[in-house]
């Protein structure tokens, strides 16, 4: 049968999305908008976080205004459980321990707080731990948790004269026994800087990460020095990269964003250099830039923003980077010291198969990972990555937000994927 040009175009336009988008990416939906929890529909999905066992936790919001803590396969806490105390809202960041411990940041009777499996940890207007009389907590934010249930968060402290404004910050921790102590605070000396101190009032930035074993931590800090060199990355309290310092690749560090560190003390961080704007965004492993904006990875050209990044204890990394061809892509590096060999896991526009039958059920329309309110990704060692996405039904009638899990390829299969991408690129030339 012969087709006219018009008829041919019509046939192509009518092909199903499953044909045009290529093979679907298989995975599982953990929780989605519309799921029913304690009689109320899920309306808010936040970023996922994992413990040392690879179990996922997150804060979800319900249609009736309550918040809930999701752990592994279901809800373990509802904000209404705290009554008669009133918990409202909740930041997108949180943490879970290996035994189901958790921390999140709601408003407690109207005061910014952190709350865990045993109840209130600290709330605004309470005495600031580790400080003298009249020093009070002003806010508690960006909570995280390590494997043994030790909780971490950034807290604001007043001026010691009974005020409510934040004059300094501290990175706090609460161990399993309940005692709260300071890890790092405004005024502390930063190692490897010649005596520079953490700036007042907000030198403890919200981008930080603690290794699962608690032995290492990494911070994005602001020091008390001139603006041209005041931001830096510090590992275990000592500077490893400073604004204005040489990257070793002919340019200088300019600003820093996301951070992640593992049990061995290896780390990644992201940001910009002072290079040309078409190559300034980067990811660095142990202080060495491994990928830059403009490079091609698995057939995709890296854009201007890394929106999420995480390093696990196997020195594997996952990251979400804007890409020229597919808007935004989740990548996997089987060896974080060789980020250029990363492979694509999922892109905006891909089909997602949630029941593993090889047929696409949804189209991925967005990644919701954001380094502004949290790390966006938290990559465990069991070979699964959890990510927050928007999904659209194939008929276009329904769009939902969901947490999905994807299996990362083994190192051998990742190498095959890279070779396949190279071969495809050669064929396109």
Tokens of 44: 């808010």
Q: Strand 94-96 and strand 74-78: pairing?
A: unpaired
Mean pLDDT across the stretch 362-381?
A: 84
Average pLDDT of the residues in 247-267: 98
Where in the chain are the domains?
32-179, 186-429
pLDDT digits (tens, 9 = 90+) for 8-30: 333 333 334 334 456 999 999 99
Please give the sequence-ordered ranges of beta strands (E in DSSP) within 33-150, or none if there are none: 36-37, 40-45, 49-50, 56-62, 67-71, 74-78, 87-88, 94-96, 102-104, 107-108, 111-116, 119-123, 137-145
Q: At residue 4, does pLDDT exceed 50?
A: no
* Contact (Cβ atoms closer than 8 angstroms) between residue 311 and residue 356: no
- Of the chain, the percentage scoring pLDDT greater than 70 comes to 89
Confidence at residue 162, expressed as pLDDT on a 0 to 100 scale: 76
SS3 25: strand
Tell me, letter by letter, the H, E, C secondary structure of 344-371.
EEEECCCEEECCCCCCCCEEEEEECCCC
What tens digit of pLDDT does each residue of 159-185 get? 888 778 899 999 999 999 999 999 999
pLDDT in tens, 330-343: 999 999 999 999 99
Task: Flag whether pLDDT at 47 surpasses 80.
Answer: yes
Give pLDDT, residue 172.
99
pLDDT for 271-301, tens place per residue? 999 999 999 999 999 999 999 999 999 999 9
Question: Does the pLDDT at position 201 exceed 90?
Answer: yes
Residues in Cβ contact with 26 at an 8 Å cutoff, skipping those fewer than 6 apart = 352, 353, 354, 356, 358, 407
pLDDT at 164: 81
Distance CA 409, CA 318 (A): 12
Going by pLDDT thresholds of 50, 70 and 90, the confidence category of residue 246 is very high
User: Is 345's pLDDT higher than 70?
Assistant: yes
| pLDDT of 369 | 81
> Which pLDDT does position 13 carry in this prediction?
36
What local confidence, expressed as pLDDT, does residue 145 receive? 98
Measured at the CA of 285, the angle between CA 411 and CA 376, to 5 degrees, comes to 80
What is the pLDDT of the chain when averaged over all its residues? 91
Prediction pTM value: 0.90
Query: What is residue 3's predicted lDDT score, i.e. its pLDDT?
Result: 36
């Amino acid at each position: 049968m012969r087709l006219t040009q018009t008829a041919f175009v019509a046939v192509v336009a009518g092909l199903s999305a499953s044909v045009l988008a290529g093979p679907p990416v298989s995975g599982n939906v953990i929780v989605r908008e519309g799921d029913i929890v304690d009689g109320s529909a899920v309306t808010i999905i936040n970023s996922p976080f994992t413990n040392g066992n690879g179990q996922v936790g997150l804060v979800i919001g319900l249609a009736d205004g309550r918040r809930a803590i999701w752990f592994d396969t279901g809800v373990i806490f509802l904000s209404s459980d705290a009554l008669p105390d009133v918990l409202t809202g909740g930041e997108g960041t949180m943490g879970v321990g290996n035994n189901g411990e958790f921390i999140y940041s709601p408003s407690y009777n109207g005061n910014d707080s952190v709350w865990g499996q045993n109840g209130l940890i600290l709330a605004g207007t309470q005495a600031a731990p580790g400080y003298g009389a009249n020093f009070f907590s002003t806010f508690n934010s960006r909570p995280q948790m390590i494997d043994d249930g030790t909780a971490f968060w950034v807290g604001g402290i007043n001026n010691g004269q009974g005020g409510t404004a934040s004059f300094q910050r501290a990175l706090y921790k609460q161990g399993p026994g309940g005692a709260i102590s300071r890890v790092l605070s405004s005024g502390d000396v930063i190692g490897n800087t010649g005596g520079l101190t953490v700036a007042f009032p907000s030198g403890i930035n919200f981008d930080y990460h603690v290794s699962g074993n608690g032995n290492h931590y990494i911070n994005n800090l602001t020091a008390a020095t001139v603006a041209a060199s005041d931001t830096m990355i510090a590992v275990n309290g000592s500077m490893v990269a400073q604004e204005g310092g040489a990257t070793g690749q002919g340019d200088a560090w300019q600003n820093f964003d996301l951070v992640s560190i593992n049990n061995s003390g290896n780390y990644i961080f992201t940001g910009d250099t002072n290079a040309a704007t078409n190559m300034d965004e980067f990811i660095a492993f142990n202080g060495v830039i491994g990928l830059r904006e403009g490079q091609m990875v698995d057939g995709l050209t890296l854009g201007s923003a890394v929106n999420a990044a995480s390093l696990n204890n196997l020195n594997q990394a996952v990251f979400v980077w804007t890409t020229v061809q597919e808007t935004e892509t989740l990548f996997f590096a089987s060896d974080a010291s060789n980020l250029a060999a990363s492979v694509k896991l999922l892109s905006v526009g891909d089909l997602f198969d949630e029941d593993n039958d090889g047929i696409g059920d949804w189209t991925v329309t967005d990644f919701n990972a954001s380094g502004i309110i949290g790390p966006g990704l938290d990559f465990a060692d069991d070979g699964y990555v959890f990510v927050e996405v928007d999904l659209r039904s194939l008929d276009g009638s329904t769009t939902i937000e969901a947490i999905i899990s994807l299996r990362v390829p083994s190192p051998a299969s990742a190498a095959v994927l890279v070779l396949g991408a190279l071969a495809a690129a050669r064929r396109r030339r």
